[in-house]
Amino acid sequence: MRAPLAAVRRRLKSLDPACRIALCGHSHRSELIRIPGGPVVFNPGSVGCPAYSDDTPPAHVSQQGTPHARYGIVELDTPGRPDRFEAIAVDYNHEAAAKQAEQTGRPEWAYALRTGFMND
C-alpha cells in the first residue's frame, strides 16, 4: 500500500526544490504520483519479481497483481508538450521462471511469478 501523501512529501524533502521528477524502484509496484507543489514520482514496477513478502519491520507485502515484466519511458517536455510518463507491461515466459523458483525450493516465489500475488 502506498504511503500517505504527507509521508511521501517528507521522504522527498531532501531533494533539490528544482527537482521535477523522482524516478523510483524497489517497491515492485507501478506508481505515478504528482505531488502538489513538488515533483512527479514515477516507478514503472518490477522487471521480474511481481510480488514479495518481507517480515523485516515494518513487515509488508507488495503485489503487482500480474506476472508481467514492467519498465518505463519518460519523455521530458518540449515546447507546447508536457512531460510524458509511460509504464509498459511485457509478457514473458513467467512459467519458466516459476519452475526455476520451484526447483530451487522457493514455492512462494513460483506463485508470485505466475500470478503477481503472494500466496495466502
Q: Could you say which architecture CATH assigns to the domain 5-115? A: 4-Layer Sandwich (3.60)
Banded model confidence at residue 1, pLDDT cuts 50, 70, 90: low
**Three-class SS state of 72:** strand
Per residue in 75-101, pLDDT tens?
987 777 788 999 999 999 999 999 999
pTM over 0.85: no
CA dist., res. 105 & res. 116, Å (int):
18
Banded model confidence at residue 120, pLDDT cuts 50, 70, 90: confident
Bridge pairing between strands 60-63 and 51-54: antiparallel
Per residue in 39-75, pLDDT tens?
999 999 888 888 988 899 988 888 989 999 999 999 9
In contact, 47 and 71? CB cutoff 8 Å: yes
